[in-house]
A and B are shown apart, each in its own frame.
Chain A
């Protein structure tokens, strides 16, 4: 029998709601079938925690006396440059921004010990952060320089606005070249010496809602330990890719743009990260609570690691040169054993995405729903779906004749 979102929220309010995590739901569906699970369970919670480079913070600094117009000027937080092409006191700090003085990859591989993600983590931890600003000065905003300390509690607004999070499926990165490479998928040993994957598999938000039925614009989510919302489809949203019979896309597909108040978040679920030879980033915790409206939702949320294939891609050549080659598909169940087979070779693989923290996020969200602290919201508008024809396109135009990257 189908349930409505309103009925489920009424159960949350009256403390009668039955919630399980997506990991627990695998067993429920295996034991009771989709029909039985749909009757028994009201809400399934998901979680993921990993590197999400397309993340950042919008902040309003408040107005100094005399006023300064940082818009069009320069702002640094703990030496990390923020984007200032907005109004007088608004800035955006991206997770991958790094100080001008960082040596980058000059002595390859660079360390990238501090960047925008670390500033965000420190702000959320309540630490004070050095604000430096330079402006050109106007009649209404005469001040040209500023140096002071700020804390998250003191600024007006500070919210995460992440253009792309929670990728629905992702590559398994391996390295067929003859040298160690340093990538956003970690350090990859030469000659298929090691591999990395990056999804929470059966716990991941969009594997449990493969057609974005309950995850759309306006959907309330767990974001960085606080409350967030789906703002839009994420950048590179590619819902119309090939899918397995269970609806699971065979490679990177849907993505979410997320927004949420930084002041309610926790440094446990927002962690500045350094990727050797690649750059700085932010590890973000995301979770969703899916209403089990009917048997179809029950079956989808019962998806297990064994049912989810991921594409294996060579980051030694195919990825950097944007060649479409997929070496193989392996399941998350295989990946979680720590070894995959390829070309007759056994390759050790590491997750990069934290499964223990994904479990923790799904469990925390489960507690919030049980305690009546987190009611479910349906989408205000749906994201472009599998039948939309939408697939992320490559950059327009042919290869530049002046490209200095050697093939």
Chain B
């Protein structure tokens, strides 16, 4: 079975942030992980963006394990949408996107989005002067 990569957003209810869930995911499900972003504190709702790398079957089992613990799991690809009808290609979003998911095509100087690179930092939406970027609710701040 080939190795797959899933970039996902996890949301933790305050009561589960004490559990070592990521450790369990790697150990028990044999998945590699790369944390892109984490906002987790004691007694607070937490949010984490990470890549999980491994077998598809293992990923599914791990996702079920997380969901069973009331942790929401969302693929990040669905998380960001650029409305090209509204976008004026001013590039304000490009200036704040450290992940280089939003870039300017140097040929045409048009904004382009590679959602698979998005790290869900949430900076682009408020930086857009014409409200052309929509972040899914679980990514918004």
**How distant is the Cα of A206 from the Cα of B141 in the complex, in angstroms?**
41
- Does B10 make an interface contact (CB < 8 A)? no
Q: Which residues of the partner chain A approach B109 to less than 8 Å between Cβ atoms?
A: 336, 351, 354-356
Question: Are A49 and B95 in contact, with the CB atoms below 8 A?
Answer: no
Residues of A within 8 A of B131 (CB): 113, 274
A273's partner among B91, B95, B126, B130 (CB-CB below 8 A) is B130
Residue A275 lies at the interface, judged by CB distance under 8 Å to chain B? yes
- Are A194 and B88 neighbours in the complex by a CB distance under 8 Å? no
**In the bound complex, do residue B92 and residue A187 qualify as a contact, i.e. CB atoms below 8 Å apart?**
yes
Contact of B53 with A by CB under 8 A: no
Is A281 touching B106 in the complex (CB atoms < 8 A)?
no
Closest Cβ of chain B to A171, distance in Å, is 15
Asked whether A271 lies within 8 Å of B88 as measured between CB atoms, the reply is yes
Once the chains bind, are B95 and A350 in contact (CB under 8 Å)? yes
Please indicate the chain B residues that have their CB under 8 angstroms from the CB of A273 in the complex: 129-130
* CB atoms of A49 and B88 under 8 A apart: yes
B130 with A283: CB separation less than 8 A = yes
Q: A218 on the interface (CB 8 Å rule)?
A: no
A51 to B123, CA, bound (A): 20
> Are A356's CB and B108's CB within 8 A?
yes
Number of contacting residues on B, CB 8 A? 21
In the complex, which residues of chain B have a beta carbon less than 8 angstroms from the beta carbon of A275? 129
Contact with A along B89-122 (1 / 0, CB 8 A): 1111111100000011010111000000000000
Complex CA distance for A111 and B125, rounded to whole angstroms = 10
| Contact A50:B95 (CB < 8 A) given known A276-B126, A337-B106, A351-B104 | no
Quick check: is B40 within 8 A (CB to CB) of the other chain?
Answer: no
- Whether the Cβ atoms of B95 and A186 lie closer than 8 Å is yes
Residues of A in contact (CB 8 Å), total 34
Evaluate contact between A338 and B127: CB separation under 8 angstroms. no
Asked whether A189 lies within 8 Å of B90 as measured between CB atoms, the reply is: no
Cα of A355 to Cα of B87 in the assembled complex, Å: 12
Q: Is A196 an interface residue (CB 8 A)?
A: yes
A274, B93: Cα distance in complex, Å: 13
A187 touches B89 (CB 8 A): no
B90 and A50 contacting across the interface, CB-CB below 8 Å: yes
A351 CA to B87 CA, complexed, in Å = 14
Shortest A235–chain B CB gap in Å is 22
Q: Is the CB–CB distance between A350 and B91 below 8 Å?
A: yes
- CA gap between A276 and B127 in the complex, in Å: 6
Q: How far is the CB of A108 from chain B (nearest CB, A)?
A: 12
Contact between B88 and A354, CB atoms less than 8 A apart: yes
Interface residue A225 (Cβ < 8 Å from any Cβ of B): no
In Å, the complex CA distance between A275 and B90 comes to: 12
Interchain residue pairs with CB less than 8 A apart (13): A51-B90, A113-B131, A194-B95, A273-B129, A274-B131, A275-B129, A276-B127, A283-B130, A338-B94, A338-B106, A351-B90, A352-B91, A355-B109
Kindly list the 10 A-B residue pairs having the minimum CB-CB distance in the complex, ordered from nearest: A350-B95, A350-B91, A355-B109, A273-B129, A351-B91, A350-B94, A356-B89, A194-B95, A354-B88, A354-B89
Besides A50-B90, A196-B91, 9 more A-B contacts (Cβ < 8 Å) are: A271-B130, A273-B129, A276-B127, A283-B129, A351-B91, A351-B104, A354-B90, A356-B108, A356-B109
